[in-house]
Amino acid sequence: MKISIQRAQELLQCAECKRILVVGDLMMDRFVYGTVSRISPEAPVPVVRVSHEKSMPGGACNVASNLLALGGKASMAGVIGKDAVGDELKGQLSGNGVTLNAVIENPDQPTCIKTRIVAERQQVVRVDREEYFQLSEEALAEFCKLIEQEMEQADGAIIEDYGKGSVQQAVVDAVIAAAAKTGIPVGYDPKDDHILKMEGVSVVTPNRKEAFGSAGIPEGKPAENPLEDIALLKVGQILAEKWKAKHTLITLGPHGMLLLNEGDKPQHIPTRAREVFDVSGAGDTVIATYVLALACGATYLEAAELSNFAAGVVVGKLGTATCTRKELIDYMKAHAEEL
């Protein structure tokens, strides 16, 4: 292991005075919970008897939620619809302490909603209500101006791309240019079919599917040891040249993470998940933890290790989840013999 519990505690203590700007696609996550005891006579599908429902900020908003859970501060930049869902989303975010100075409303399109039907701790189906946000040149210019203003107060930035329209090249350029002036870290969580120039970004955190998709290579069966996965290593090289990021962290589910850095040999970080209930939002937790750790002075290896433990916490929860500072330290203590 490359990080001790004491070092993790030091970094998380420092996080209290760090503010990270999250730029990306804002959405509302709704969860409908219930039980299944029979199959519908109308079609071969389960009948879910609803017990309760809940809503929470999703998409890029979940990155901000993870930053807050770890003790950091968060601000958001993105586009929502001028509707009741958008108002609800803003209310939840501001109520949690997220700054919304760079969130703009588009009256012509609805706020994105993802509804998950969950029965017996298993997701039965997901229903998406969404449209690709299209901004006028004037609106895009105003959006970039707001981002530049927020970056003046940020200690780091995260670009969270769900491919819904908030993240465009002009937006990326504004973030990276502002970060270069102050030397703060920038993380990018990509969408595999959305091509953007990312030169100057600190870290990119695709999952395996996104990595292969972004590299334009068909995804095959993963090797047990990622350091012997020839196709994966080739993808890493392609992405390093394509994105020109200082660090590329490919999340591999049960196989952990593959960390690639400029001038260094690839490094494998084994998974820390003891049990997996739901991977929803795990990538959000990884990039939030990684960039926050960098902003606190962590090395890239320390940031990767901390992110790996945080991911181990959230995949053991059901639904879009976060990892608190206490949960992260307790989880590391449970793995103390490996440190």
Q: What is the dihedral of CA 274, 295, 13, 298, to 10 degrees?
A: 60
Q: Tokens standing for 247?
A: 């660090």
Q: Distance between the two ends of the chain, CA-based, in angstroms?
A: 5
Active-site entry in 29, 161, 189, 284: 284
Q: Tokens standing for 51?
A: 């017990």
Which 3 state secondary structure label does DSSP give 276?
A: coil
CB atoms within 10 A of CB 94: 13
User: What is the residue-wise DSSP string for 20-80?
Assistant: EEEEE-EEEEEEEEEEEEEE-SSSSSEEEEEEEEEEEEEEHHHHHHHHHHTT-EEEEEEEE
284 is catalytic: yes
Q: According to DSSP H, which parts of the chain are helical?
A: 5-14, 60-69, 84-96, 137-151, 169-182, 208-215, 230-243, 282-295, 300-314, 325-334
Alpha carbon distance 108, 136 (integer Å): 11
In a 10 Å sphere around its CB, with 0-12 CB exposed, 13-18 middle and 19+ buried, how is residue 266 labelled? middle
Looking up tokens 């199959």, which residue turns up?
A: 39
Taking alpha carbons only, the member of 276, 277, 279, 281 closest to residue 58 is 281
- Could you give the residue numbers annotated as active site? 284
